[in-house]
């Protein structure tokens, strides 16, 4: 029975030329358009990015170092320990680490730093419109050192002002700064833990490295725009297989085909399994065709074919589960509108969160993490890792996300789908 349902759905798709065009031709057209038009953004060849950042520092390192030395003496710290701590303040002067180490050295190709005398001058400067303004309050270094070395109170927070008219550039500075402080906080916590256990402090000379931007795919080979958008369009349009399957399933209900199946004493779970298998198989074939054509036309080649197949199969299973879930909702509420909502709106949202059009890491690491829990987003990140030379271990968390989501959708579908007596 399940095999007959599978064959029936495949034949139905074969006869539906319009759906075949949507599933196969449209992605190839978009790959060509986006691959050529956004080549500079992905490959970094043609688009130059200049970000002006203002820094307002209410303190001065040497003066605050002298204040910290006086504070240590007031707390009766030994002279030898004072010299050790003062030497470590050179490595842990956060304004210098962030501004000089990260922006002026690590990101000097895109960031230009300007020093302003006051916050008002930076925010109201008419000559240079800054994408962001970083404000270090008075005695920030002293309070930071006191917190790190003497378990004092946390220093006043550094304030980052973003220009709404330069939101893209401002978000880049925000991401870099947040990454810097996140790594700094982690290093401080580990350093204190090691010190409390009698080990060497993490902040000893030579152990504290200059921080830079956190990148999800650091130290991997670059990709081309066609590689990125081949994956982006493939994982987006494969979701339309789920809506196609659900739409066709509801047509079977409207035309009483499903009722006639029930008269043959077919179990409803057999019907669900058939839909899941057919949707998964169609999704797998669609992905293989798209990636096969892309290897011919756009030179998108996979070195690790086994990892590629594993991701493709996992994504296809998830698409099948999504198709069954939408079908269950259609049957439960006796409407086709849910399919329309998915195809016209929700898939677009999933495509954005998953990074099909542009990498969401450009906007927020939070969006990137959310996208990793969408089937298309997790698959896209896995495919990119494979293309860029990642190992098996690097893609396993993403595949785990897809499988968890698939199981959740299937269980939810079993709960939602009407019982036989309700149909």
Domain contains 216: no
Question: What's the mean pLDDT in 283-295?
Answer: 93
Among 196, 211, 245, the domain boundary falls at: 196
Higher-confidence residue of 40 and 148: namely: 148
Residues 397 and 263 in one domain: yes
Residues 56 and 15 in one domain: no
Radius of gyration in angstroms for the set of CA atoms belonging to the chain, rounded to a whole number: 28
pLDDT, residue 37, reads 65
How does DSSP assign 95-147, residue by residue? HHIIIIIIIIIITTTTEEEEEESSHHHHHT-SSS--SEEEEEPTTHHHHHHHH
CA distances for 196 relative to 79, 85, 92, 154, 397, angstroms: 21, 16, 19, 19, 33
Higher-confidence residue of 374 and 105: namely: 374
Asked if residue 214 has pLDDT above 80, the reply is: no
- Which of 45-59, 106-120, 128-142 shows the lowest per-residue confidence on average (mean pLDDT)? 45-59
Residues 240 and 112 in one domain: no
| Integer Cα distance of 29 and 25 in angstroms | 6
pTM value is 0.58
pLDDT, residue 420, reads 59
Among 181, 196, 211, the domain boundary falls at: 196
Question: What's the mean pLDDT in 129-137?
Answer: 86
| Token reading at 177 | 């700064």
Phi, psi of 295 (to 5 degrees): -65, -30
Domain count, the chain: 2
Banded pLDDT at 195 (limits 50, 70, 90): very low
Higher-confidence residue of 234 and 43: namely: 234
Q: What is the mean pLDDT of the chain?
A: 79
Domain enclosing residue 106, as ranges:
51-196
Residues 190 and 325 in one domain: no
Closest CA to 99 of 146, 149, 57, 157: 57
Q: What share of the chain has pLDDT > 70, as a percent?
A: 79
pLDDT, residue 262, reads 64
Domain contains 389: yes
Residues 124 and 166 in one domain: yes
Angle at 93 between CA 129 and CA 124, to 5 degrees: 20
Domain contains 212: no
Banded pLDDT at 307 (limits 50, 70, 90): very high
Q: Which helix (H) or strand (E) holds 159?
A: strand 159-162
Banded pLDDT at 65 (limits 50, 70, 90): confident
Tally Cβ neighbours within 10 Å of residue 405: 17
CA distances for 245 relative to 255, 327, 382, 418, angstroms: 15, 8, 25, 18
Q: Which helix (H) or strand (E) holds 51?
A: strand 51-57
pLDDT, residue 128, reads 65
pLDDT, tens digit, for every residue of 6-26?
A: 676 667 766 777 777 778 888
Q: Are 33 and 302 in contact (CB under 8 A)?
A: no
Q: Are 328 and 249 in contact (CB under 8 A)?
A: no
Banded pLDDT at 1 (limits 50, 70, 90): low
| Integer Cα distance of 168 and 156 in angstroms | 27
The DSSP code for 377 is H
Higher-confidence residue of 151 and 375: namely: 375
- Which of 282-291, 311-320, 366-375 shows the lowest per-residue confidence on average (mean pLDDT)? 366-375
Banded pLDDT at 380 (limits 50, 70, 90): very high
Domain contains 214: no
Higher-confidence residue of 33 and 301: namely: 301
Computed from CA positions of residues 267, 273, 279, 282, in that sequence, does the dihedral angle turn out positive or negative?
negative
Residues 304 and 385 in one domain: yes
Residues 191 and 285 in one domain: no
Residues 85 and 232 in one domain: no
Domain contains 112: yes
Higher-confidence residue of 154 and 407: namely: 407
Coil, helix or strand at residue 33: helix
pLDDT, residue 127, reads 67
Banded pLDDT at 193 (limits 50, 70, 90): very low
| Token reading at 302 | 């996979």
Domain contains 60: yes
Banded pLDDT at 240 (limits 50, 70, 90): very high
Residues 410 and 331 in one domain: yes
Domain contains 66: yes
- Which of 114-118, 128-132, 210-214, 391-395 shows the lowest per-residue confidence on average (mean pLDDT)? 210-214
Domain contains 181: yes
Residues 23 and 57 in one domain: no
Q: Describe the strand order of the beta sheet including 51-57 as a list of residue ranges.
A: 111-116, 51-57, 132-136, 159-162
Question: What's the mean pLDDT in 385-389?
Answer: 86
Residues 270 and 406 in one domain: yes
Residues 39 and 55 in one domain: no
């Amino acid at each position: 029975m399940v095999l007959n349902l599978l064959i029936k759905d495949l034949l139905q798709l074969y006869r539906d030329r319009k759906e075949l065009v949507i599933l196969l031709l449209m992605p190839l057209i978009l790959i060509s358009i986006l691959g050529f038009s956004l080549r500079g953004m992905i490959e970094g060849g043609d688009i130059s990015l200049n970000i002006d950042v203002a820094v307002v520092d209410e303190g001065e390192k040497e003066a605050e170092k002298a204040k910290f030395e006086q504070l240590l003496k007031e707390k009766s710290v030994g002279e030898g320990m004072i010299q050790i701590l003062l030497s470590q303040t050179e490595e842990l002067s956060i304004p210098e680490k962030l501004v000089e180490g990260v922006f002026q050295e690590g990101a000097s190709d895109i960031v230009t730093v300007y020093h302003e005398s006051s916050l008002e001058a930076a925010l109201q400067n008419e000559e240079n419109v800054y994408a962001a303004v970083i404000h270090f309050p008075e005695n920030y270094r002293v309070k930071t050192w006191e917190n790190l070395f003497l378990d004092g109170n946390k220093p006043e927070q550094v304030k980052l002002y973003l220009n709404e008219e330069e939101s893209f550039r401002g978000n880049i500075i925000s991401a870099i700064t947040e990454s810097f402080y996140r790594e700094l906080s982690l290093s401080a916590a580990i350093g204190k833990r090691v010190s409390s256990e009698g080990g060497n402090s993490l902040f000893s000379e030579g152990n504290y490295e200059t921080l830079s931007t956190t990148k999800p795919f650091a130290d991997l080979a670059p990709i081309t725009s066609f590689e990125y958008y081949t994956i982006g369009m493939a994982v987006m349009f494969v979701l339309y297989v789920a809506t196609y399957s659900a739409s066709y399933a509801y047509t079977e209900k409207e035309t009483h085909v499903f009722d006639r199946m029930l008269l043959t004493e077919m179990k409803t779970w057999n019907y669900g399994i058939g839909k899941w298998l057919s949707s998964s198989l169609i999704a797998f074939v669609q992905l293989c065709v798209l990636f096969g054509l892309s290897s011919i036309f756009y030179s998108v080649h996979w070195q690790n074919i086994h990892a590629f197949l594993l991701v493709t199969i996992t994504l296809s299973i998830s698409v099948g589960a999504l198709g069954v879930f939408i079908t269950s909702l259609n049957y439960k509420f006796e409407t086709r509108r849910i399919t329309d909502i998915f195809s016209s709106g929700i898939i677009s949202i999933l495509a954005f969160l998953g990074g099909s059009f542009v990498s969401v890491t450009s906007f927020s690491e939070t969006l990137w993490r959310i996208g990793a829990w969408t089937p298309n987003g997790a698959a896209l990140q896995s495919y990119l890792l494979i293309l860029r030379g990642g190992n098996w271990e690097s893609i396993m968390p993403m595949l785990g996300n897809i499988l968890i989501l698939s199981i959740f959708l299937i269980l939810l579908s079993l709960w939602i789908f009407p019982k036989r007596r309700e149909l």
